[in-house]
Structure 1
Amino acid sequence: MLEFDWSVSTNEDSGGDEADIPKGFESNLRISVSLALLVLVAAVSAIHIQQRYHGQDIYAEPDCSIVEDHSRMFRDISDPTHYWVCPEGQEMADYIQCPDNHAFMEKEQKCVVWEEWKWVEPYTK
């Protein structure tokens, strides 16, 4: 850990009465340095967390390496007649087509006839 010497030299060392640094400067300097260090730590932490985050891209194949519920089906936003599943132990998702005249509904976790299908706004990361 870095340690700082916060001492202030004055003219008293050389026989003078007044400080070389204006009154209150040392306190302001401490606050400024502390804030700068806090911002630096926050930035480094944010970068580190961002590099570890593997969120699902809602428009593409799910990342099976982070999927915990292998029975869950993931919708394909660009084609409602298909959905994705991540079988346990498999790195790549399976892309499955609904039966003819059916489309996938994520909330119901099944293919429904087109007459029952409704557009649902996709969730975002």
Structure 2
Amino acid sequence: MYKVSIVLLLLAAAVSAVHIQQRYHGQDIYAEPDCSIVEDHAQMFRDISDPTHYWVCPEGQEKADYIQCPDNYAFMEKEQKCVVWEKWQWVEPYTK
């Protein structure tokens, strides 16, 4: 009985992991966005690992463009533009 419970628990965990993986979209972790689901092609997406860059999904393109801010600038998602470093502030990441 104990072994059957463990097997069922492991099976449930595996099914959950597959389900979570299927719902993943690039925007959820600030990686390259999934352009196939982007509706607003003017929206800029933050790169959480490098604030000097951001992503955009031009209409009709499958892959996002990775754009660098000018020297001494960093991207602010709320403002949807690059701002001078002195005005840039860290914003806690969120997931959708």
Q: 1:121 aligned to 2:92?
A: yes
Task: Please report the TM-score for the alignment, with normalisation by the length of structure 2.
Answer: 0.73
Paired residue secondary structure (1:108)? coil
Paired residue secondary structure (1:100)? coil
Q: 1:110 aligned to 2:81?
A: yes
User: Radius of gyration: which is bigger?
Assistant: 1
- How large is the RMSD of aligned CA atoms in angstroms? 2.1
Q: 1:53 aligned to 2:60?
A: no
**CA distance change for structure 1 residues 52 and 104 in 2, over 3 Å: closer, same or farther?**
same
Give unpaired runs (5+ residues) of structure 2. Answer: 1-15
The percent of aligned pairs where both chains have the same amino acid is 82
Structure-2 residue corresponding to 1:11: none
Flag the structure with higher helix content: 2
Ranges of 4+ aligned residues in structure 1 off by more than 6 Å: none
- Where do 1:36-47 residues align within 5 Å? none
Give unpaired runs (5+ residues) of structure 1. Answer: 1-45
Flag the structure with higher strand content: 2
Shift of 1:57: 3.2
Structure with greater contact order relative to length (CA < 8 Å, sep ≥ 6): 2
What is the count of residue pairs matched by the alignment? 80
Structure-1 residue corresponding to 2:34: 63
